[in-house]
Amino acid sequence: MGHLAAAVEVRAVLGLDRMLLVVAALPWQKVAMRAITPAEDRFAVVAAAVGGIDGIEASRLELDRGGPSYTADTVAELASLHPGAELFLVVGADVVSDLPTWERVDDVRDGVTLVVVARPGAPMTLPPPPWKSCAVTVPALDVSSSDLRARVATGRPIDALVPPAAVRQIRRLGLYAG
């Protein structure tokens, strides 16, 4: 619900035509830290979650490209598919300090306006110039994907924390169960 609330709010505040929730094929910064749910399963959950929300779409760009998912590649692909479009990249405030570790971060910086949304426990800071950036205040929902996976693994409910269609997909696919 936190990702959806942020997506809907950012789209409305900035007047965006559409918001893509891009599912990573292989999230290279996470693979060494924990087991990664199969990409197609993650896409099924995201697609179910956004179903029926106007202007919010699950995107397969990185899945269809395959290999490690680098934001720089996705920005370049979107710029090629939509020449002249203004691209925005939405990140949580907890990600801003990690930007220097990103692959080809200068290409990302030059291709987007960075939109930073608050995350519980993370200071709200914008990256320094030459980044083009702005902050958008979104509803504060203190729910992390790590907590949701742990809740499922231990049999605790997630029904009020995740859209019903996404809960059904998680259960149908047997994801995160202990």
Per-residue pLDDT of the chain (178 residues; tens, 9 = 90+): 788 889 999 999 999 999 999 999 987 666 666 677 889 999 999 999 999 899 999 999 999 998 888 999 999 999 999 999 999 999 999 899 999 999 999 999 999 999 999 877 788 999 999 999 999 988 776 677 788 888 888 888 787 778 888 888 888 888 888 6
Q: 14 vs 89, 134, 148, CA distance in Å? A: 12, 10, 29
Name the domain count of the chain.
1
- Please, which residues bridge with residue 90 across strands? 115
Examine residue 165 and state whether it is found in any structural domain, yes or no.
yes
Question: Which residues 6+ apart lie within 8 Å of 111 measured at CB?
Answer: 72, 75, 76, 79, 87
Peptide bond into 139 cis (omega under 30): no
- Please report, for the domain that includes residue 82, its CATH number: 3.40.50.620
User: What digits encode the pLDDT tens for the residues 96-132?
Assistant: 999 999 999 999 999 999 999 987 778 899 999 999 9
Pull the structure tokens for residue 43: 């896409």
178 belongs to a structural domain:
no
Residue 136 inside a domain? The answer is: yes
Contact (CB, 8 A) for 119 and 6? no
Residue 176 lies in a domain: no
Q: Residue 177 domain-assigned?
A: no
Whether residue 12 is contained in a domain is answered as: yes
Is position 132 within any domain? Answer: yes
- Can you give the pTM of this predicted structure? 0.82
Residue 64 lies in a domain: yes
Q: How far apart are CA 84 and CA 78, in angstroms?
A: 10
Domain residue limits at 88: 2-171
